[in-house]
Amino acid sequence: MFGRPIINDLTDIETMLDAAGEHGQLAVVVDMTASGAQLLLAVAAARGVPVAAATPIG
């Protein structure tokens, strides 16, 4: 969606969520361990953004 990686940084995460939210209802899907996504999960929770975890199939 953004053409660049989103780093584990509060400002970068907030900017990404703000930009994505401009296009409609927002949800976050993570495909990494909870420790790697801890900041993203905390920011999403604070904003009331639904979160789902993707697991590999196969």
- Which class for 43: exposed (0-12), middle (13-18), buried (19 or more C-beta within 10 A)? middle
Report d(CA 33, CA 47) in Å as an integer.
21
Residue 22 or residue 4, greater confidence:
22
Q: What mean pLDDT do residues 13-41 have?
A: 88
Q: What mean pLDDT do residues 27-38 have?
A: 82
The reported pLDDT for the residue numbered 12 is: 93
- Average model confidence (pLDDT) for the chain? 88
How would you write 9-56 as a 3-class SS string? Answer: CHHHHHHHHHHHHCCCCCCEEECCCCCCCHHHHHHHHHHCCCEEECCC
Q: How many CB atoms lie within 10 A of CB 40?
A: 21
- pLDDT bin (cut points 50, 70, 90) of residue 31 is confident
Regarding pTM above 0.85, the answer is no
